[in-house]
Structure 1
Amino acid sequence: MEVTLKDIEQIDARSQLIIDVRSPKEYEEFHIPEAINIPIFSDEERAKIGTIYKRVGEEDAKELGLQLFAPKLPGFYKQLRDLLIETAKNEVLFYCARGGMRSRSFVVTMAMMGLPCTQLRGGIRAFRQEIIAKLKKQENRSRSFIVLNGYTGSRKTDLLQSLKKLGYPVLDLEGLAGHRGSIFGQIGMKPNSQKTFEMLLVQELEKLKDAQYILIEGESKRIGKVVIPNFILQGKVVGEQILISYPLEKRVENIYTIYDPSKYKTNIDEALGHLEKRLNQPIREKILSAKQNGDYKLIYKILMADYYDQRYEYQIQQMKNKQHVIEMSSLNEGLEKLTQFLTTQLKKTS
């Protein structure tokens, strides 16, 4: 049976029910936006088939795949039929890793049952290549960055998110990464893979293509396991620098709110265990004492004053005469001063 193939530029979530037939683990790492995961094989089944393919051969792997796939067909058909009715979509677009056997077998079988099915040419791999090509184009685009710097807990992310709500051109790199950057950074968040990060990054940069400047936070090269592209890092270095100055006690309160031990104690203790290896003996002893007393605010204060602030101090001094300092005692005060600064900058460059 001939299968109707669709190319990347023909993806249309408004009219198509997009179905990712790969395993849940593959889907979680990276998938087309609005795609629904209906896996032909579970993670365990896929691993088993892969093992048979490597150790025995292709035919045996195909036979096992068929044995696992066939009993699921009635359920797949009912699920797809109900989804088409529920979503009022015109057709089903299936994809797998490379546009191969998994999605093709699904398309052929469901088409025989009368469902309007198509297959994505090249699968998720073709979609990924499209993202890489778009990211490459972004590298060559001229843009200016305004960079928010500050010690840990200075509410830089809160300021950026507030500015974004007001319509300012903000690129929230931590939000795209699903990680806050420190060893505690994934607590309360769902980290994204490099592939998903780059897809979201391209989407945001395309939205900001006409912006006179882009506001970002002064990140290091990595946010968790995600690597920031060099053109953003280079733009950060030459960009306009702003230092957010926020009192230590308020920074402690902010970090305590984010990493609340009543919600995340196990995760916090695990992160502290990893971090303690990097700390000197006096700091470790102070943290241990605070931990025994259940005083996590004190733990955060010790880490900021004796560890994180010390590490950041050199970077602050390097930019001492190159950055505009905004002192704030509240988020609203900082937001007001930031908007005033940005208005002044726009007047200078216009």
Structure 2
Amino acid sequence: MFDATADFKKIVLTELPLIDVRAPIEYEKGAFLNSVNLPIMNDEERRLVGICYKEKGNEEAVNLGNKLISGSLKDQRIKDWTDFLAKHPQALIYCFRGGQRSRISQKWIYEATGQPTLRLDGGYKAFRNFLIDALAPDNISSSPLVLTGYTGSGKTDLLLEFDATVDLEGLANHRGSSFGNQVNTQPTQINFENNLAYRVIQHSSKAYKYMLLEDEGRNIGRSYIPKELHAYFKLGELVLVHVDFDIRLENIFDEYVIKSQLEYEKASMEGCGLDKWASVISNSLAKIKKRLGGECYARASKAFEDALLSQKNTGDLTLHMVWAGILLKEYYDPMYKYQIDNKRENIVFEGNTAEVREYLNEKSSLYL
């Protein structure tokens, strides 16, 4: 009745719900997709039990835990678990090593309901190691096929048309450039890796010949791709999409101004809005000041300030095209030209969006 499972692959492929009974401070550092934190001990209770364990041993620590979590408090925590299990009867329980906390949770649930639950054998640590192993290049069967192109080429939107894509920017919750911050914060590094591993395992299960990816640096905002995995992605064949400057500028304007402002406006109840968006853009400009050069930075900053003032006075956003155009033409394009020229020998196909779409469609339909 207190069984455990180590079928981690099944958990990933079916995205089974998980009950994490660790303390909130542990959960916040890293957890798993589809998990919910319903702790058996809160942070303070865990701290006290930990001190007792170090000073007096396991038996006394367990006794203290039972004393701290008793009566109505124990009843409430059992109710939290059973309410979740009523909605998600296949849910599994885990703690850090699959030991006492998850076993005690299983016991209490069984005593309250008569229903057995499964726990993760080895807990968080064992499942986390399984996911880390999944990101090792030797364990990935498909070959990386990497879409590259100048900023504003619509690479992400194009790749999202195909099931064989692994959306690195989506997993990192970042647009992948100096101005790519989203309203919602990025995941912790551990959660980014865990979620990436989920996607890689699910991709591998479908036996695609190619894994479609966007050309990314190792860092996507504050998230970073594991070193060996990033090196593996860099060995992939490259597909170069060509998009006219005017269209790319429209795309940047739409994404970094119109859509981004809407995101901040929707979050205005949390103290965001236009001023918050403007602060983020201004800070992003300041971060690349040295790379822009003093003169270019001054022009871009002035253009941004003029556009923001115009928007506040008239509601017209079009002047934002000016600073976006400066960045695109004088910062991003030279940088990407240099990078693409250095990768020229790895390019297996290039064309406009329609031509690249057709090529990727053919490649994404191939299986091992």
TM, length-normalised to structure 1: 0.77
The one of 296, 318, 325 aligned to 2:350: 325
Rounded to whole Å, the distance in 2 between the matches of 1:157 and 1:36 is 30
Q: Residues 210-244 of structure 1, C-alpha deviation per residue, up to 9 Å, x if partnerless?
A: 22222211111222233324554344444332222
Rounded to whole Å, the distance in 2 between the matches of 1:15 and 1:228 is 22
The one of 199, 202, 221 aligned to 1:204: 199
What's the CA shift for 1:322? 4.9
Q: Do the aligned partners of 2:158 and 2:357 also contact (CA within 8 Å) in 1? A: no
Summarize the alignment of residues 175-254 of structure 1 with structure 2, pairs less than 5 Å apart.
175-209=170-204, 210-230=207-227, 232-254=229-251
Match of 2:150 in 1: 151
Match of 2:298 in 1: 285
AA paired with 1:225?
A: R
Q: Do the aligned partners of 2:148 and 2:239 also contact (CA within 8 Å) in 1? A: yes
Q: Do the aligned partners of 1:17 and 1:84 also contact (CA within 8 Å) in 2? A: no
**SS of alignment partner, residue 19 of structure 2:** strand
Q: Do the aligned partners of 2:177 and 2:221 also contact (CA within 8 Å) in 1? A: yes
Summarize the alignment of residues 115-134 of structure 1 with structure 2, pairs less than 5 Å apart.
115-116=114-115, 117-134=117-134
What's the CA shift for 1:10? 7.5
Q: Residues 180-209 of structure 1, C-alpha deviation per residue, up to 9 Å, x if partnerless?
A: 222332314552333333333333333443
In structure 1, runs of 5+ residues without a counterpart are 328-333
TM, length-normalised to structure 2: 0.74
Q: Residues 102-158 of structure 1, C-alpha deviation per residue, up to 9 Å, x if partnerless?
A: 33333333333344344433211111112123333x425554332211122211000
Q: Do the aligned partners of 1:144 and 1:235 also contact (CA within 8 Å) in 2? A: no
Rounded to whole Å, the distance in 2 between the matches of 1:66 and 1:271 is 52
Q: Residues 268-292 of structure 1, C-alpha deviation per residue, up to 9 Å, x if partnerless?
A: 5235325414312212222332232
**SS of alignment partner, residue 186 of structure 1:** coil
The one of 358, 361, 364 aligned to 1:340: 358
Match of 1:301 in 2: 325
What's the CA shift for 1:338? 1.5
6-15 vs 145-154, greater mean Cα deviation: 6-15
Rounded to whole Å, the distance in 2 between the matches of 1:315 and 1:131 is 32
**SS of alignment partner, residue 185 of structure 1:** coil
Summarize the alignment of residues 134-149 of structure 1 with structure 2, pairs less than 5 Å apart.
134-136=134-136, 138-141=137-140, 143-149=142-148
In structure 2, runs of 5+ residues without a counterpart are 265-273, 309-318
Q: Do the aligned partners of 1:6 and 1:118 also contact (CA within 8 Å) in 2? A: yes
Match of 1:75 in 2: 76
Rounded to whole Å, the distance in 2 between the matches of 1:238 and 1:10 is 29
11-20 vs 288-297, greater mean Cα deviation: 11-20
Q: Taking structure 1 as reference, are residues 190 and 278 closer, same or farther at Cα in structure 2, changes over 3 Å only?
A: closer
AA paired with 2:296?
A: I
What's the CA shift for 1:346? 9.3
Q: Residues 241-282 of structure 1, C-alpha deviation per residue, up to 9 Å, x if partnerless?
A: 222222333323322322333543414523532541431221
Q: Taking structure 1 as reference, are residues 233 and 34 closer, same or farther at Cα in structure 2, changes over 3 Å only?
A: closer
Rounded to whole Å, the distance in 2 between the matches of 1:288 and 1:108 is 62
**SS of alignment partner, residue 152 of structure 2:** coil
**SS of alignment partner, residue 113 of structure 1:** helix
AA paired with 1:129?
A: N
Q: Taking structure 1 as reference, are residues 79 and 232 closer, same or farther at Cα in structure 2, changes over 3 Å only?
A: closer
Alignment of 1:310 onto 2:334: yes
60-69 vs 119-128, greater mean Cα deviation: 60-69
RMSD: 3.7
Match of 1:97 in 2: 96
Percent identity over paired residues: 30
Rounded to whole Å, the distance in 1 between the matches of 2:184 and 2:32 is 21
AA paired with 1:78?
A: K
Aligned length: 330
Match of 1:39 in 2: 39
Q: Do the aligned partners of 2:285 and 2:301 also contact (CA within 8 Å) in 1? A: no
Q: Do the aligned partners of 2:19 and 2:37 also contact (CA within 8 Å) in 1? A: yes
Summarize the alignment of residues 249-264 of structure 1 with structure 2, pairs less than 5 Å apart.
249-259=246-256, 260-264=260-264
Q: Taking structure 1 as reference, are residues 33 and 283 closer, same or farther at Cα in structure 2, changes over 3 Å only?
A: same
Q: Do the aligned partners of 1:95 and 1:123 also contact (CA within 8 Å) in 2? A: yes
Q: Taking structure 1 as reference, are residues 17 and 290 closer, same or farther at Cα in structure 2, changes over 3 Å only?
A: closer
